């Protein structure tokens, strides 16, 4: 437990047995209370004081109270490019989750500091693939003589050392907006892909966009010997999918799609590719957060949409398109709890600390990891 200076105890996900605990989630100094009516004015003032020295990035899943202060918003691919395109900014405040801030640190200059306003803003999917587990899996493939023909591809939602592993192993990073292009590139380099850590993005892309069959895919469980697979299964597979998933998108079910179609005749179902395969198969369209936003912008007035992605974004889309019906695909799925950790008190605290000359919650990736991870990220950024 930790407390804000209101004395109200707060449960912090990153403490205790949670994997984020090693990041150290206690904020040094004093956070302003969430009830402070001056928070907006304080954020405006701190931003104005810092001027061009500061660049604030906001992922589409961030809260409204935070996103209003973002200089740019985007999906994880766009934000990685935006961070890399601002060499003059001394401070990059990343309103998103830990792996995104790491990627920003990797892609920005040594003199630039990347700040994550709350260190507990991790990603449960990224935590499902640790470096040791992935090395162990690679050893299994090496013993079978398969490592030489396997290209490791990791989703952006992974730690920097997993990205570095892929860079070192001749592979690349991908995001939900370029997974097909990354996989096409990978199959030009080798015969198989080890896809980390999101099994759903890997399966959905391979089967629905590239013509592979479900039988071409196997799921490697890092908690079982040999990934829970026979040697023959590993030899036959084209796509070796890591057993990871998003705890938010994984909650949408095929029943949600049936239910919304029955409730709203003519509704278009639009989902993120982190959703399960049966959900994506039943949907009308699938794409990254940026794709979802653009699709709704282009949709005709009067059309109806059920969107299967994080709730902050869906609520903003509904507010932005009063001429269309925009509804959440499932009534019980909620916010991404780690994205939501970045709130206005944490943002104000980070900005005001910078004004005082104190860099808090800096995300730093060591030089060796940076160089290999950058190779994997650069391969992604160079995809046609
Ligand atoms: P995007 O790549 O679409 O931004 O998604 C990132 C993410 O974390 C989705 O859960
Ligand atoms: Fe991770 Fe899912 Fe949250 Fe995205 S929505 S940051 S994949 S837990």
Mind listing the pLDDT tens digit for each residue in 168-196? 999 999 999 899 999 999 999 999 999 99
pLDDT digits (tens, 9 = 90+) for 278-322: 999 999 999 999 999 999 999 999 999 999 999 999 999 999 999
pLDDT digits over 335-361, tens only?
999 999 999 999 999 999 999 999 999
Atom of ligand 2 lying closest to residue 157 CA? 7
Q: Ligand 2 in contact with 310 (CB < 6 A)? A: yes
- State whether residue 197 is helix, strand or coil: coil
Determine the distance separating the centroid of ligand 2 and the alpha carbon of 145, expressed in angstroms. 34
pLDDT band at residue 384 using 50, 70 and 90 as cut-offs = confident
Centroid of ligand 2 to alpha carbon of 77 (angstroms): 14
Q: Residue 26's pLDDT band (boundaries 50, 70, 90)?
A: low
Q: What is the pLDDT of residues 230-260, one digit of tens each?
A: 999 999 999 999 999 999 999 999 999 999 9
CB 131 within 8 A of CB 163: no
Q: State the greatest distance between any 2 C-alpha atoms of the chain, in Å, as a whole number.
A: 63
In a 13 Å sphere around the CA of 12, the CA atoms on its Cβ side amount to 23
Give residue 274's pLDDT. Answer: 97
Q: Beta 54-59 vs 91-95: how paired, if at all?
A: parallel
Name the pLDDT band for 19 (thresholds 50, 70, 90).
Answer: very low
Residue 28: the pLDDT is: 73
DSSP 21-78: GGG--PPSS-PPPTT-TTHHHHHHHHHHHHGGGEEEEEETTS-HHHHTT-SEEE-HHH
pLDDT in tens, 79-100: 988 998 999 999 999 999 999 9
pLDDT of residue 25: 59
pLDDT at 11: 27
Higher pLDDT, 3 or 215: 215
Strand segments, DSSP code E, in 126-191 are 150-155, 172-174
Ligand 2 centroid, distance to 157 Cα (angstroms): 8
Instruction: Evaluate if residue 273 carries a pLDDT over 90.
Output: yes
Q: Which residues line ligand 1 (CB under 6 A)?
A: 75-77, 157, 175-176, 246, 274, 288-289
Identify the weakest region by mean pLDDT among 20-34, 88-102, 337-351, 367-381: 20-34
pTM of the model: 0.90
Going by pLDDT thresholds of 50, 70 and 90, the confidence category of residue 373 is: very high
**Residue 27 or 174, more confident:** 174
**Is the beta carbon of 128 within 6 A of some atom in ligand 2?**
no
Closest atom of ligand 1 to CA, residue 249? 10
């Amino acid at each position: 437990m930790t407390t804000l200076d209101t004395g109200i105890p707060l449960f912090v996900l990153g403490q205790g047995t949670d994997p984020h605990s090693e990041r150290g989630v206690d904020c040094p100094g004093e956070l302003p209370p969430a009830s402070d009516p001056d928070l907006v004015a304080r954020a405006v003032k701190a931003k104005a004081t810092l001027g061009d020295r500061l660049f604030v990035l906001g992922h589409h899943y961030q809260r409204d109270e935070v996103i209003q202060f973002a200089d740019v918003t985007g999906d994880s691919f766009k934000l990685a490019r935006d961070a890399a395109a601002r060499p003059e900014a001394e401070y990059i405040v990343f309103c998103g989750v830990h792996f995104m801030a790491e990627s920003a640190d990797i892609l920005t200059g040594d003199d630039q500091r990347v700040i994550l306003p709350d260190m507990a803003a991790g990603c449960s999917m990224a935590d499902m693939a640790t470096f040791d587990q992935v090395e162990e899996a690679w050893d299994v493939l090496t013993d079978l003589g398969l490592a030489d023909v396997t290209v490791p591809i990791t989703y952006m939602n992974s730690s920097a050392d997993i990205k570095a592993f892929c860079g070192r192993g001749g592979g690349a990073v991908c995001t939900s907006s370029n997974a097909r292009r990354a996989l096409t590139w990978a199959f030009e380099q080798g015969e198989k892909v080890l896809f980390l850590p999101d099994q759903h993005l890997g399966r959905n892309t391979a089967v629905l966009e590239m013509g592979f069959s479900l039988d071409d895919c196997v799921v490697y469980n890092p908690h079982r010997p040999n990934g829970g697979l026979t040697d023959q299964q590993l030899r036959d597979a084209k796509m070796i999918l890591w057993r990871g998933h998003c705890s938010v998108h994984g909650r949408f079910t095929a029943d949600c799609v049936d239910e919304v179609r029955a409730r709203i005749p003519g509704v278009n179902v639009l989902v993120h590719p982190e959703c399960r395969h049966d959900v994506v198969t039943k949907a009308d369209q699938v794409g990254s957060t940026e794709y979802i936003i653009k699709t709704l912008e282009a949709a005709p007035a009067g059309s109806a949409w059920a969107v299967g992605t994080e709730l902050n974004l869906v609520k903003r889309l509904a507010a932005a398109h009063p001429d269309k019906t925009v509804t959440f695909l499932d009534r019980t799925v909620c916010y991404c709890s780690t994205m939501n950790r970045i709130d206005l008190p944490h943002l104000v605290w980070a900005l005001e600390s910078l004004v005082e000359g104190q860099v808090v919650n800096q995300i730093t990736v060591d030089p060796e990891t940076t160089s290999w991870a950058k190779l994997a990220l650069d391969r992604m950024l160079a995809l046609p």
